[in-house]
Amino acid sequence: MKKVLIFMANGFEEIEAITLVDLLRRANIQVDMCSITGSLEVTGSHNIQIKTNLLLEDVNNVLEYDALITPGGMPGSTYLKENSTVISMIQAFYGKEDKFIASICASPIVLKAADISCKIEGTCYPGFEEEVSFKQHKQQAVVQDQNVLTSMGPGTAFALGLKLIECLVGKVKAEELYQETMFAYR
């Protein structure tokens, strides 16, 4: 079974985080919601509380995971980029075969802190382009460059989830969820 770790900080964007967790679990992918706060409970940028199942300090070997996710939201994205353990884990994933990194909305600032954004084409929430400094910025819902997927914001979380599912378990499963969830009827 594929495994994904999603980093959760106070001030995360709820739509992005929960949409990704839900879609991945529907694809039978194990998702660990990992709090970086020292507490299992985190509060989103719109005051929704979530109970995670893992603390950052309890992640023994990040390479046991197949993908890492940084949800957007403020100030959550800032907290992620300021966490040296998160940055080290993302750096450990970059360029590894069959390991994926997914960043959405404001959270590509984490990729900049990890010295990755300058090496890839990507996208982010409008207004963060200069802060992220991609090799090339693209105005697209989802951009994949090497093993890094980036996405624009809450409204593109579903598309990012389906693309990550395609990368992890194949196009057939992604297409199946596309149909089952009525995403085709947007």
Nearest CA-CA partner of 119 in 99, 133, 102, 100 = 133
Question: Residue 185 pLDDT > 90, yes or no?
Answer: no
CA 95 to each of CA 54, 148, 164, 182: distance values in angstroms, whole numbers, following the listed order: 25, 9, 16, 34
Question: Given the structure tokens 């890094």, which residue do they identify?
Answer: 148
Number of domains in the chain: 1
- What CATH number has the domain bearing residue 31? 3.40.50.880
Asked whether the beta carbons of 1 and 29 are under 8 A apart, the reply is: yes
In a domain, 28, yes or no: yes
Closest CA to 83 of 44, 119, 105, 57: 57
In a domain, 186, yes or no: no
The structure tokens listed for 51 are 């109970």
87 assigned to some structural domain:
yes
Smallest Cα–Cα separation from 136: which of 13, 16, 148? 148
Q: pLDDT, tens digit, for every residue of 30-57?
A: 999 999 999 999 999 999 999 999 999 9
Domain region containing 122: 3-180
**So what's the pLDDT on residue 19?**
98
Residue 62 lies in a domain: yes
Q: Is residue 185 part of a domain?
A: no
Grouping H, G, I as helix, E, B as strand and the rest as coil, residue 38 is: coil
Model confidence over 74-87: pLDDT tens digits? 999 999 999 999 99
With respect to residue 17, please indicate whether it lies within any of the assigned structural domains: yes
Average pLDDT over the chain, rounded to an integer: 97
Report pLDDT digits (tens) over 118-165. Answer: 999 999 999 999 999 999 999 999 999 999 999 999 999 999 999 999
